[in-house]
Amino acid sequence: MAEVTERRTLVVLFSVLVLDLLAFTCILPLFPALIDFYAVEPHRDSLYSNCENALKSFRAFIGAPDVSRLNSVFFGGLLGSLFSALQFVSSPLMGALSDIFGRKSVLIVSVVGSLMAYVLWSSAATFTIFVVSRIVGGLSKASVSVAIAVIADVCPTERRGKGM
């Protein structure tokens, strides 16, 4: 019976992680088009302008050529780094919360938070809303660390490597 529960848990975790990681990576090739979208009115806002000025200063500081195409690359790098930095900060906190409130609860909160971020992203008419969606997504992206904790809890030591 325990092995059936273990297998069922691993299938659910695997499914959640595959969907989560696919959703995470689907935005990456879209960054240049998204940046071009937010660069024009009425989608452009003060946050975009401030980021653009900061990135121009950074580009001048590192000696990168003044090519407009590089703006998309720099913006994409900034947004990707923001997401990853927030994920780096929130994952240990979510792991600790999963020790207190339970793995299932925190995993559900993580998945719902990611879903909210993707819904917000899909309806983002301005750059600020898009950045907020990336912040929400980065802060709620703890499914991998919580899944590893679940596997460690569910699988006996001799089968833990297989579960991972």
| Cβ-Cβ contacts under 8 Å for 8 (sequence gap 6 or more) | none
Domain ranges for the chain, please list them. 28-58+68-146
For the stretch 55-90, pLDDT in tens is: 889 888 988 888 877 777 888 888 889 989 999 999
Tell me, what's the pLDDT at 124? 93
Q: Is 103 left (phi over 0), alpha (psi -120 to 50) or beta?
A: alpha
Q: Using CA atoms, how far apart are residues 105 and 93, in angstroms rounded to an integer?
A: 14
Average pLDDT, the chain: 86
Crossing angle (nearest 10°) for helices 68-101 and 31-38:
110
